[in-house]
Amino acid sequence: MTNAVTVRYMSRSELESLMYSLTASADNEQAQLFEAIARRLLEIMEEERR
């Protein structure tokens, strides 16, 4: 089970995988915002790797 405590100990690759798998429900604006932030953060991280 993933929760705030387990996330703290996850590796970068595990976090990336988890963030790519998230999908916010259409009726939850905060979840949609979090998903957009997480995906943008992943994009920025990918750009910095190059």
Q: Is the pTM of this model over 0.75?
A: no
Return the ∠ at Cα 47 (arms to 42 and 50), rounded to 5°. Answer: 130
HSE-up of 26 (CA within 13 Å, CB side)? 0
7-19 pLDDT per residue, tens: 889 888 888 888 7
Nearest CA-CA partner of 36 in 48, 19, 50: 19
**CA atoms of 25 and 20, how far apart (whole Å):** 15
Where are the domains positioned within the chain? 11-49
pLDDT average, residue stretch 27-45: 87
Res. 2: pLDDT tops 90? no
The answer to whether 17 and 39 have CB atoms below 8 angstroms apart is: no
Q: What percent of the chain is modeled with pLDDT above 90?
A: 6
